[in-house]
Structure 1
Amino acid sequence: MAYRNHDAFVDPARPKSDLGSLILGIIFIELAFIFGFIIMYGVMTVLSQDPDAIYQGTTAGGMLIQLFTFAFFGIAVILVAELRHNRDFLSLIGNPFHVVRDFRATFIALCMIMVLLEVIYLTFYGSQILEVRNVFRWAALLPISVLALLIQTGSEELFYRGYVQQQLAARFNSPLIWLIVPNILFAWAHYSSEADYTSNMQTMIWTFSFGLVASDLTARSGNLGPAFALHLANNIAAMLLYGEHGGQGSGLALILFPSVDADIAQGQSAETILSIGLIYQLGFLLIIWLTARNALRR
């Protein structure tokens, strides 16, 4: 009963739900994204003296380029759905009225609870802040930064919770498949060859859990609105508010904390996988999941 809205959301995927089409579609979408990033990276390398900043996202310009490159990803999802599955854009997101309604309700509720949680977080960890960037410059970049995040989060939701989840649900009745498989892909996409084993495992546990929450909200609402709101609110906090000094994806962050690599370099031992930080993050995720579910009931 909790997922009764999911059936209507999945219906457009049923006419062509064979696994062959899905696998080929995933491969094409991933290749299109890689190709798009190579193009953007190549162009900006010619124009920039610090191409590594683009790849690592350690500068505002590099981070914006990374985020806007997700437009290739989103466009590829729409093209694959149209050409391989005879589905239009609206079939990927659900009823537009419900998308807007549920996005608004979820986003407002999440922003309210996240402000409270961030105040609590800064109360305990504010003393560890290493740098606060120029607020006026950060605010001036805010509109384009939010636009870039809209493209990035929207494209990922189209792919993982829209295309992949729908196609699997059209083929398999068991929620264990269409909840877990897309989010294994989602977690694996956040693997970094440059990070150590512990950091990678922590990141993948977090992203898999986050994906499960997003998939659950999608199934409950029958549209992408709540998952999109969750993803956007989370990434605003994770990319625009906080970052590690010199760390990947820190280019747009207002507040910088010492990096984990710097702690290790100073002789501090690496954390276990189930660290206090990860437990805090999973607890934070549980709270915002329950908040989003409550917002959808209103």
Structure 2
Amino acid sequence: MTTHTLYESPQPSDPAWTQTAPAPAQPLAYHRQARATGHHRWWRPLVGTAVVFIGVTLVMLVVLIGSEIAGAVLDRPRNDDGDLVWGGIGDNALALLSIALWIPVVLLAARWVQRRPAGTVSSVTGGLRWRWLGLCLAVALPVAAASLGISLLLPESEVSGPELTWAGLSPFLLGLASICLLVPFQAAAEEYVFRGWLVQAVGAWCRSAWVAVIPQALLFAAAHGWGTPWGFADLVVFGLVTGLLTVRTGGLEAAIALHVLNNLLAMGVMSAIAGGLASEETAADMNWMMVAVDVPMVALYAAVVLWLARRRRHHTDVATTRP
């Protein structure tokens, strides 16, 4: 009597003796992860994107309502427009919190709408690769510090910023604490929406990484508002480079690391300046000199990360195929 296991065992005389179990499926590239399960349908990325947009709007509304309730209880003052005044530190913290809450929105949309593991938004391995993230942070720190340091030495732009006056020890420490607590989640949330969800939504239909990466870079720049043409161009370049890093390394870690360090250092400096965190100036307001510093630094970071990814492929689990 022939015994059976998962596959029927062929006899030595059987031509099938030389056959083995089917080869495992090749891994999908990062931008194709929406097709990682058998549940993909052409309409799921569209519906999921609508759910993400609605969810982002709702969480920001929840933060606003919570702020209004807290303001009423604490009898906070209002400005001439009727908006609550929490001060530069408080208003900045609320803005960061409202963005940080985008992360669960994206993960739930992937799980509920696209019916795939939420971790596939993080990387091709189904979750954040913490050791790889730590290595990318180590690379990003000197690059972001050098970029900021050189920028501080440049002549003042025509756009007037806050006057360089020491904020005081207590306001500085309070502002710095709120930044260290919220900025990592805020920066990561922007990566999950733009380099994560949007790249994979387009990638669900298109094999080309470039086609998947370009739309989100333009939307990322537009989301920061219109400041100067130079600032818009810088944000587009940042979106393109981090998008390609995400696809090439198989996850969001490299993009998150650079974004987090850029924001932490810049806002950390602003927290030391009186009224610095109340400033509405963003990366969209860059002048050409700052862009001339920032773009080469971003390119340098990308080059080092890609070199490390090739050297440490077994640690980063980079997708090996581009279906």
Q: Which residue of 1 aligns with 2:7?
A: none
Matched, 1:35 2:61: yes
Which of 224, 244, 247 is the matching residue for 1:216?
Answer: 244
- 1:116, distance to aligned residue in structure 2 (A): 3.6
Q: TM-score, normalised by structure 2?
A: 0.69
Using a 3 Å threshold, how does the CA distance of structure 1 residues 81 and 236 change in structure 2: closer, same or farther? same
Tell me the secondary structure at the aligned position of residue 224 of structure 2: coil
Aligned match of 2:135 in 97, 105, 110?
Answer: 105
1:147 to 181, 190, 198: 181
Percent identity for Structure 1 against Structure 2: 19
Q: Residue 294 of structure 2: which of 281, 285, 291 is its match?
A: 281
Q: Structure 1: which amino acid aligns with 2:29?
A: D
Select between 219-228 and 167-176 the one with higher mean Cα deviation. Answer: 167-176
In structure 2, how many angstroms separate the alpha carbons of the residues matched to 1:88 and 1:227? 21
Separation in structure 2 between the aligned mates of residue 58 and residue 245 of structure 1, nearest angstrom: 14
Matches within 5 A, 1:1-298: 7=29, 10-13=32-35, 15-18=40-43, 19-46=45-72, 47=74, 48-50=76-78, 59-94=88-123, 95=125, 99-124=129-154, 130-135=164-169, 137-139=171-173, 141-191=175-225, 199-242=227-270, 250-251=276-277, 275-298=288-311
CA distance in 2, matches of 1:29, 1:97: 22
Report how far residue 232 of structure 1 moved: 0.4
Q: How far apart are 1:124 and its partner, in Å?
A: 4.8
Distance 1:238 1:147, change over 3 A: same
Contact 2:133–2:257 (8 Å) recurs in 1: yes
Could you say if the C-alpha distance between residues 201 and 125 of structure 1 is closer, same or farther in structure 2, counting changes exceeding 3 Å?
Answer: closer
Q: What is the CA distance between 1:25 and its match in structure 2?
A: 2.9
User: How far has the Cα of 1:152 moved from its partner?
Assistant: 0.8
Structure 2, unaligned stretches of length 5 or more?
1-25, 312-323
More helix by share: 1
> Does the Cα contact within 8 Å between 2:122 and 2:128 map onto a contact in 1?
no
CA-atom RMSD in angstroms: 3.7
Change over 3 Å in CA distance of 1:122–1:202 after alignment to 2: closer
Q: TM-score, normalised by structure 1?
A: 0.74
Q: Is the 8 A contact 1:160 1:183 kept in 2?
A: yes
Q: For the Cα contact (< 8 Å) 1:73–1:155, is it kept in 2?
A: yes
1:133 is displaced (CA, Å) by: 2.7
CA 1:137–1:130 in 2, change beyond 3 Å: closer, same or farther? closer
- Alpha-carbon deviations, 1:117-154, whole Å to 9, x = none? 4444445559x972233356434553442221122112
Following superposition, the deviation at residue 65 of structure 1 comes to 1.2
Cα distance change, pair 291–31 in 1 and its aligned pair in 2 (3 A): same
Number of residue pairs the alignment of both structures matches: 270
Query: Which segment drifts farther, 102-111 or 174-183?
Result: 174-183
Partners of 1:57 and 1:278 in 2: CA distance = 32
What is residue 268 of structure 1 aligned with on the other side?
Answer: none
> Which stretch of the first structure deviates more once superposed, 57-66 or 220-229?
57-66
- Once the two structures are superposed, what CA deviation does each residue of 1:176-209 show, in whole Å capped at 9, x if it has no partner? 32111112221121116xxxxxx25343322222
| Contact 2:77-2:84 within 8 A present in 1 as well | no
Distance 1:43 1:212, change over 3 A: farther
TM-aligned CA distance change 1:287 to 1:243, over 3 Å = farther
**Aligned residue in 2 for 1:264:** none
Give the whole-Å Cα distance in 2 for the aligned partners of 1:179 and 1:243. Answer: 33
- In the TM superposition, what whole-angstrom CA distance separates every residue of 1:13-48 from its partner, at most 9, and x where no partner exists? 452453532442343234324423432443354343
**CA deviation map 1:55-88 (0-9, x unaligned):** 8996111111111122432222222222211123
Q: What is the alpha-carbon distance in structure 2 between the residues aligned to residue 23 and residue 96 of structure 1?
A: 20
Structure 2: which amino acid aligns with 1:114? A
